[in-house]
């Protein structure tokens, strides 16, 4: 069936580096994508979203890129900080379906 998955289970970076977290999706009908951050002991927190009519969207220190040709989504975090350490999930919606989540990538930021 259709699925959303992440390429890397764990990403380790140094403080100040830029981080890139990737996500592949298989449903070509997906038209809305969301990135969530989940810190230990908390629920997932919305970071940024993008619709399929866009290929890039920027927020505060974060950028989401969407490549519909290869069905790939990425989250870029600029100047990564220790507080960015968390699990990051991508999620997608197609049509009238509810959100489908990927497995998550653990981001570890060392000082």
Partner 1 sequence: ETGVTQTPRHLVMGMTNKKSLKCEQHLGHNAMYWYKQSAKKPLELMFVYSLEERVENNSVPSRFSPECPNSSHLFLHLHTLQPEDSALYLCASSPGTTEKLFFGSGTQLSVL
Q: What residues make contact with partner 1 under the rule CB under 8 A?
A: 32, 34, 36, 41-46, 49, 89, 93, 95-99, 101-104
Question: Which is closer to partner 1, CB of 46 or CB of 67?
Answer: 46
Question: Which is closer to partner 1, CB of 60 or CB of 69?
Answer: 60
Q: In a 3-state reduction of DSSP, which class is residue 4?
A: strand
Q: How far apart are CA 42 and CA 49, in angstroms?
A: 20
Question: Which is closer to partner 1, CB of 9 or CB of 16?
Answer: 9
Closest CA to 93 of 22, 33, 15: 33
């Amino acid at each position: 069936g259709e699925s959303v998955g992440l390429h890397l289970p764990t990403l380790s970076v140094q403080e100040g580096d830029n981080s890139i977290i990737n996500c592949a999706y298989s449903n070509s009908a997906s038209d809305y994508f969301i990135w969530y951050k989940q810190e230990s002991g908390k629920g997932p927190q919305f970071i940024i979203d993008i619709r399929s009519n866009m290929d890039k969207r920027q927020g505060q220190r974060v950028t989401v890129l969407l490549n519909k040709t290869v069905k790939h989504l990425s989250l870029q975090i600029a100047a990564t900080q220790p507080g960015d350490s968390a699990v990051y999930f991508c999620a997608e919606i197609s049509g009238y379906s509810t959100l489908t989540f990927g497995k998550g990538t653990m981001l570890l930021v060392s000082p």
